[in-house]
Structure 1
Amino acid sequence: MLLLGVVTATLAWLFIALLTGRQAGWMAVLAALEIALMLRLGTLRTGTARVVLTLLATVLVALAANWGIASAYLGGSMGLTPWESALRMGPYLAWTLSGLANGAVEWLWLGVGLVVGWWVAR
């Protein structure tokens, strides 16, 4: 269930960001809610394990979504599909492009998402 939650949250974040032309940092809150719900549906008991998994998976979704957004924009200008560009883009370039695209508001949304994920998963 955790893998399903991570994959669907990442794809949803990626599609919304590409459709709107913005980073959609608010999706971190929805990703945290979805992951906490998936862990609950997977019958993982409340406690530290569920909270830690929710927080780690939310950060993983944010990293994967930002990597995908950067690779889609960069690959599109070079004639590559987003998945071809994602496989060719290194971590330093992805970090640089994400740092340029994300401002304080996106970091704030990630923080809110982590707090919401902590609250719902406990």
Structure 2
Amino acid sequence: MPPAPPRPPHAAHRAPGWLWPFMLLLGSTTLVVAWSSLALATGLQHGWLGLLAALEAAWMLRLGGMRPGWPRRLTALAATVVMIVAVQWLVAAGHIGAQMGLAPWEAAPKMGAFYVWTLARLANTWLDVICLVAAPLLALRIAR
């Protein structure tokens, strides 16, 4: 029997193309929970974690086998924005919900977008805002 032709080294470690949505969802959910928990425990927003969210989104898409290009870049940007909004919403809900005896996930559906926007504007420092604005741009850049 003739030997099998050698496979290129990069093909041996390529993930299937259908894996990226699951990896992105798992990684994003984990980061949102960790970031929200840290912010609620310390009383600070920790906007620098937005940059980590951008890195995580791009990394999960690459590891999940999504092809390079604009779809991957825009997906990383969108995932980063969704993580930032989710954290801001859960942190605001955690602070307000605690006063009513509710967990953050119980208080989150009861809060309006304008109220969350107002609380986030009051809670974030200028450094947090810079990091939160830079995070989607970082995701767009590194997810190429």
Structure 2 length-normalised TM: 0.79
1:6 maps to 2:42: no
1:46 maps to 2:64: no
Cα displacement string for residues 55-103 of structure 1 (whole angstroms, at most 9, x for unaligned residues): 1110110000000000000011121121111121121211111111123
- CA offset at residue 116 of structure 1? 2.5
What runs of 5+ residues in structure 2 fail to find an aligned partner? Answer: 1-22
Deviates more, 1:64-73 or 1:89-98: 89-98
> How many Å separate the matches in 2 of 1:111 and 1:77?
30
1:74 to 87, 96, 99: 96
- CA offset at residue 3 of structure 1? 1.4
Higher relative contact order (CA 8 A, sep 6+): 1
Structure 1 length-normalised TM: 0.92
1:23-102 alignment to 2 at 5 Å? 23-102=45-124
What runs of 5+ residues in structure 1 fail to find an aligned partner? Answer: none
> How many Å separate the matches in 1 of 2:143 and 2:103?
36
Q: Relative to total residues, which structure has the larger helix share, 1 or 2?
A: 1
- CA offset at residue 41 of structure 1? 1.1
Question: How many residue pairs are counted as aligned between the two chains?
Answer: 122
- 1:119 is matched with 141
